[in-house]
Amino acid sequence: MISRERNVKIFTGNANRPLAESICKSIGTPLGDSEVKSFADGEVSCSISETVRGCDVYIVQSTCKPVNDNLMELLILIDACRRASAGRITAIIPYFGYARQDRKTRSRDPISAKLVANMIAAAGAERLLTMDLHASQIQGFFDIPADNLLSYPVFADYYAKKFGSDVHDMVVVSPDVGPIARARKFAEKMEASLAIIDRRPSDDGSGEDLHVIGDVEGRDCILFADIVDTANTVVTAAQALTELGKARRIYACATHGVLSESSIELLAASKIKELALLDTIPAHPEANKAHIKYLTVAPIFGEAIERSSQEISITKFVF
């Protein structure tokens, strides 16, 4: 439990207040007294109703939908704390929006992830805590210390409790070649085998040809991704595992449940028996329709705050 002598203060915007409250509860400290609201024209305003002078301040704010509103809330909260003479300001961004714009894919494209990193540092943040960045190199976009916490231990613990010793006979599946390294760490943690969905453009250019690399026949599989947005990737991967790989049951898990467009309907009609998501983004109101289960990351961020405030290593969470 955090002692008062350390003068730790935790504040939040409107993006994910339940997570901020859970983080505070996990370490036995109250959520800071603040209010973030909008004027009639949409401008963001915030007021902090307690002193932060010399305090170790943590601001919890995912930059999820509405992305730009939540980002502005974060920047304004940071600025308010800086101008109130906070001792140190750490931005806790469980879900870092704009992370998928991490490189130029065409001429004259922006690198929006770098721009957002610059804005957060310019506002006055001195440190960043986030989870499962879409691309690990985004850590290098920040001119302040940035720690990328990993989610796979949460899922490994969940499935170990859910399936017991049978979990070692399951197959962890990367739904694309991109997340292979992430999926491999997850498989090693669970002492399970690994398979990959190989996606290639079809010969006629009408879509994709999917191939299952690895033995999944007659076995239960866990698709592992960092983001589920439209859900097309995990749903088509589940279909390939069932129809091409002859897998038995398909489960899926992902760190961030963006769940845009018609993702709920797509998941509900899919081969996925259950989708486990973390609460880095607030729960979708129709999650039950798609057999979605939410797991909390509050204890991880809570312990990271405790360790950070005491200047203790948080390496156990990032490697």
pTM of the model: 0.94
65 and 141 share a domain? Answer: yes
Q: Are 89 and 129 in contact (CB under 8 A)?
A: no
Among 68-77, 207-216, 291-300, the minimum mean pLDDT is found in 207-216
pLDDT, tens only, 116-155: 999 999 999 999 999 999 988 999 999 999 999 999 999 9
Residue type, 223: L
Q: Which of 181, 207, 188 is nearest to 196 (CA)?
A: 181
The range of the structural domain enclosing residue 23 comes to 4-149+298-318
189 and 71 share a domain? Answer: no
Peptide bond preceding 201 in cis form (omega within 30 of 0):
no
Question: Could you give the 3-state DSSP secondary structure of residue 206?
Answer: coil
213 and 178 share a domain? Answer: yes
pLDDT value at 181 more than 50: yes
127 and 28 share a domain? Answer: yes
125 and 220 share a domain? Answer: no
162 and 133 share a domain? Answer: no
What pLDDT does residue 178 have? 82
Q: Which domain CATH number covers 87?
A: 3.40.50.2020
Q: Are 135 and 168 in contact (CB under 8 A)?
A: no
What pLDDT does residue 4 have? 46
156 and 246 share a domain? Answer: yes
274 and 165 share a domain? Answer: yes
76 and 100 share a domain? Answer: yes
Q: In what order do the strands lie in the sheet with 171-174?
A: 208-213, 193-201, 171-174, 221-228, 250-257, 272-278, 292-295
Q: Are 277 and 295 in contact (CB under 8 A)?
A: yes
Task: Provide the β-strand partners of residue 129.
Answer: 92, 147
229 and 314 share a domain? Answer: no
Q: State how far the Cα of 276 lies from the Cα of 294, in Å rounded to an integer.
A: 6
183 and 86 share a domain? Answer: no
Name the percent of the chain lying above pLDDT 70: 97
What pLDDT does residue 3 have? 47
108 and 191 share a domain? Answer: no
pLDDT value at 33 more than 50: yes
What pLDDT does residue 201 have? 83
The total domain count for the chain is: 2
pLDDT, tens only, 244-272: 999 999 999 999 999 998 999 999 999 99
